[in-house]
Structure 1
Amino acid sequence: MRLSSPPPLNVLPGIIHTDPGRRGLSRNPHGNLFTATATDLASACQNLTHHPAPRLAIVTGFFIPTADPPGHETDGPLGALFLLRTCAALGIPARIATDPPGIAAMRAGLRHCDLPGDWLCELPPPTADAWDRPSSHLLGYFPTHYVFIERAGPNAEGRCLTMRGVDITEQMGPVHRWIDNANPAADANNSPVTIGIGDGGNEIGMGKIDPAILADNIPLGRQIHCRIATDYLIVAGVSNWGSYALAAGLFLLRRQKPPPGLFDPQAERHLLEIMVREGLLVDGVTGRPEVSVDGLAWEAYIEPLIRMREMLAW
């Protein structure tokens, strides 16, 4: 039965607040990564919806040095492209930025989705002088919102670590510096809004969570904890799920139906096949270039997307 009005946003956290990889996201039932960010998804959706002229910079890419071959993982790029497609459907200007290891996969994804190639920005090397400039020099405009999806960020010592404690700082462009160097966008009195999406504690945005909570829930939590906070932090069992939920929330608040290609599990799998084949993305858990995310069977991975599709059929 179709509803006369869309379902409320508070349904979405229940879809993505699970821990399929058993990372410890909610090990302590009284204080964990989900409870610490319970309202952030809805708040991020509302902020984007109510902004008069949003322009997004979507940043993704998490390097897996132990993979064969080493490269970016499938969690992050797929969600970033999903959010970019959502922005295209809603008429919101957006760009994706990623490091060189993820460029081929993202180009392949853009071609498959018939999106312009110049919506993709290649991040400079970590030591480049470009990091001293605002992101507008690379993106071509001043973003009103930065969205960091499964993007490793520095810990208290300034090092980017995997969940196993492996140092990948030299492979990760310091995009967190864009927050420090950002210029006011649409409103001279406001700096760009930042949104982090992560699933482990070592991603940009996790600085919003008390280090004691990370230490109490995540193995190596205090060591890997990213110190960079964002205005809103979306924690999900898989980071791509957080992107799906953010997109779903935008459609719900705007009372718009997504185009047929979005929230389609078969289309999402085909897109990932192309990105893995042409861009050599790897599963972050298995370390292999395969059509999977975080070691999950496809049926388990795609279930949240299916539930969101059912929500959007009001």
Structure 2
Amino acid sequence: MGEYVDRLVTVEMRNRGMNHGIIKQIYDAARAEGGGRPLSAQAAEALVNTVKPGDVVFIVTGAGYAPEVPNGESDGPPGAASLARAIYWGLKAIPVFVTEECHAPPVVASAKAAAVMVREFDLAKNRRMGGALITAPTDRNQTKAWAEQIVEEYQPKAVISIERLGPNDQGIVHGSTGVAKECVDLGHVFVEAKKRKILTVGIGDNGNEIGFGRIYDFMRDFHPYGRETQYPGGTGVITVIATDYFLPASVSNWGAYGIAAMIAFFLKNQDLIQTPEMERKILEACLDAGGWEMRYCTSRFIVDGTAGESSMSIVQLLRDMLRLNIAEPDRGLSHGKMKEQA
């Protein structure tokens, strides 16, 4: 199951004006560095084995900024919502979204469309009424202390990043094409989690997202902006933040869907994955709340240049793979008896 989930979510679909022809090589490097097993299966298995009912799981997301996309982009919040759905309904844990204030509206809207309501933490923790939300301080000088404080207060058992930009070796956060971003560094949450030996998972699609630190040296040499930026003196866009488990995908949302599908596989529950119809609602909710498609900064039904229907199709294929893999063996009426295996 994990082998073909990984293949599905790494099918590259990119305009040649952007970084392209890179996902297979990045995935191969990440898989080799990660020990050779399918990456979606590794991450999901770790979550299933670590997270217990009532535990808190941080889901960190948010990319894209004003003036282009003041509330962020459509890649990230839907994937976060899908993972929250599997974590809440499957693992019976409390998903807590961690993001910047500007990215909160699409995150909350996506989660609601995925049937994970965002409530006050007390209601989520003590009465199991959905997930919760934490927003970062706007002052970058406060982020490190804030990260230490929320990890201490909420005691997460796992911290997951989906399409969240991380700092390079100069401590600067970049877009994938070498443009520096004026934003807070949520990589501090992962640094603090590592100190406390908390499970971390990263999902990204272009080298600048948290998790890519696992294959930092490879990405520096391979990525078009691995060693340079669009301004003088920059040392490249690749983040130094590594995670315990890391899945590069063609679209970050798809990587999150793949891990959610593998959680559902281990729990033998197809309903943990959204239907294609729900996927449409999630994407539309994200877009309507300001999480726009990033190419032309509009509310078109698009994610990272791919039509929304492509994301719906990915979900359908994942659900069918899951359905067939967890079903009881059945040859139907036309295939005769199955050969007995030793």
| TM-score of the superposed pair, with normalisation by structure 1 | 0.84
**Matched residues in 1 for 2:51 and 2:99: separation?**
27
Partner letter of residue 232 of structure 1? Y
Q: Secondary structure at the match of 1:60?
A: strand
Q: Secondary structure at the match of 2:4?
A: helix
**Matched residues in 2 for 1:70 and 1:125: separation?**
14
Partner letter of residue 221 of structure 1? G
Q: 1:312 aligns with which of 322, 325, 329?
A: 322
Aligned-pair identity (%): 26
Give the aligned partner of residue 270 of structure 1: 281
Q: Report Cα offsets for 1:214-261 as digits up to 9, x if no partner.
A: 432x321331111111111110000000100010011111222325xx
Q: Secondary structure at the match of 1:19?
A: coil
**Matched residues in 2 for 1:286 and 1:215: separation?**
29
Q: CA deviation at 1:211?
A: 2.7
Partner letter of residue 108 of structure 1? A
Q: Report Cα offsets for 1:283-305 as digits up to 9, x if no partner.
A: 12222233210111223333221
Residue pairs, 1:6-25, within 5 angstroms: 8-21=1-14
Q: Report Cα offsets for 1:87-135 as digits up to 9, x if no partner.
A: 1111122211111111122233344435132311112214253531445
Cα pair distance change 1:131/1:285, threshold 3 Å: same
Cα pair distance change 1:183/1:233, threshold 3 Å: closer
Q: 1:209 aligns with which of 207, 212, 215?
A: 215
Cα pair distance change 1:210/1:256, threshold 3 Å: same
Native 8 Å contact 2:98 2:136 kept in 1 = yes
Residue pairs, 1:98-113, within 5 angstroms: 98-112=99-113, 113=115
Cα pair distance change 1:140/1:229, threshold 3 Å: same
Q: CA deviation at 1:65?
A: 4.3
Moved more, 113-122 or 70-79: 113-122
**Matched residues in 1 for 2:239 and 2:291: separation?**
23
Cα pair distance change 1:133/1:45, threshold 3 Å: same
Cα pair distance change 1:181/1:257, threshold 3 Å: same
Partner letter of residue 34 of structure 1? Y
Native 8 Å contact 1:144 1:191 kept in 2 = no
Native 8 Å contact 1:111 1:117 kept in 2 = no
Cα pair distance change 1:127/1:214, threshold 3 Å: closer
Structure having the higher Rg: 2
Q: How many residues align?
A: 293
Residue pairs, 1:41-190, within 5 angstroms: 41-51=40-50, 53=52, 55-65=56-66, 67=68, 69-90=69-90, 91-112=92-113, 113=115, 115-118=117-120, 119-129=132-142, 131-134=144-147, 137=150, 140-168=153-181, 170-171=182-183, 173-182=184-193
Q: Which runs of 5+ in 1 are unaligned?
A: 1-7, 185-189
| TM-score of the superposed pair, with normalisation by structure 2 | 0.78
Native 8 Å contact 2:81 2:116 kept in 1 = no
Could you say what the CA RMSD is over the residues aligned between the two structures, in angstroms?
2.4
**Matched residues in 1 for 2:82 and 2:23: separation?**
32
Q: Secondary structure at the match of 1:34?
A: helix
Partner letter of residue 248 of structure 1? A
- Relative CO higher for 1 or 2, CA cutoff 8 Å, sep ≥ 6? 1
**Matched residues in 2 for 1:131 and 1:238: separation?**
29
**Matched residues in 2 for 1:273 and 1:227: separation?**
33
